Amino acid sequence: MRRKAAACNRRSSCPNNPADYSRQVLGVDPTPQQEAIWAAALRPPYQVLVPSANTVGKPYCGAAFASWFYDRYDPSTTLITAPTKDHLRDAMFRYLRTIRRDTSGFAPKDTRLEGSPDHYVHGFTTNNPDAFQGRHDTHLTLIFDEATGVDAE
């Protein structure tokens, strides 16, 4: 069973990668597929496309990555998008809320976790590629859940 994110107090004590974070902080042994996804996300060009498949655990994989990135980098910006607000809230953020259930700054059914104005995870829906422009943070990650709903631009 998953437990809440706990023992990771920012960069000094946070594991260097999401697989170790999942094991050490969340108490979840990742699948080989999840480890491969995370490893690909940390290698240039820092992009990974995960084809649709059952039993990969993509929502957990994305939520655990977002939680790791949030704990590892402060300040940081994590943007998560999905085809619909319901999907965003009830899939990816459901896992993120479960992982971080005792985290302050995270309201139930919310799609934003904020530690400060320059340290947050934000979920939104859009069909406009310009919505991602203007982000120049030092530590920035983008997670597209169900990328089939995202235009190639």
Q: b/e string for 137-149 if b means 16 or more Cβ within 10 A?
A: eeeebebbbbeee
DSSP 79: E
For residue 97, give the 3-state DSSP assignment: helix
Q: Rounded distance, CA 107 to CA 103, Å?
A: 9
pLDDT (average), residues 2-24 = 73
pLDDT (average), residues 59-77 = 93
| CA-atom Rg of the chain in angstroms | 14
pLDDT tens for 74-88 read 999 999 988 888 988
Amino acid at 13: S
| Residue 116 and residue 52 in contact, taking contact as beta carbons nearer than 8 Å | no
Tell me, what's the pLDDT at 1?
A: 35
CA 93 to the chain's CA centroid: 9
Beta bridge partners of 114: 120
Question: What's the whole-number average pLDDT of the chain?
Answer: 82
pLDDT-derived band at 2 (thresholds 50, 70, 90) equals very low
Strands 112-116 vs 76-81: parallel, antiparallel or unpaired? unpaired
Question: Has residue 109 got a pLDDT over 60?
Answer: yes
Question: Has residue 105 got a pLDDT over 80?
Answer: no
Tell me, what's the pLDDT at 24?
A: 93
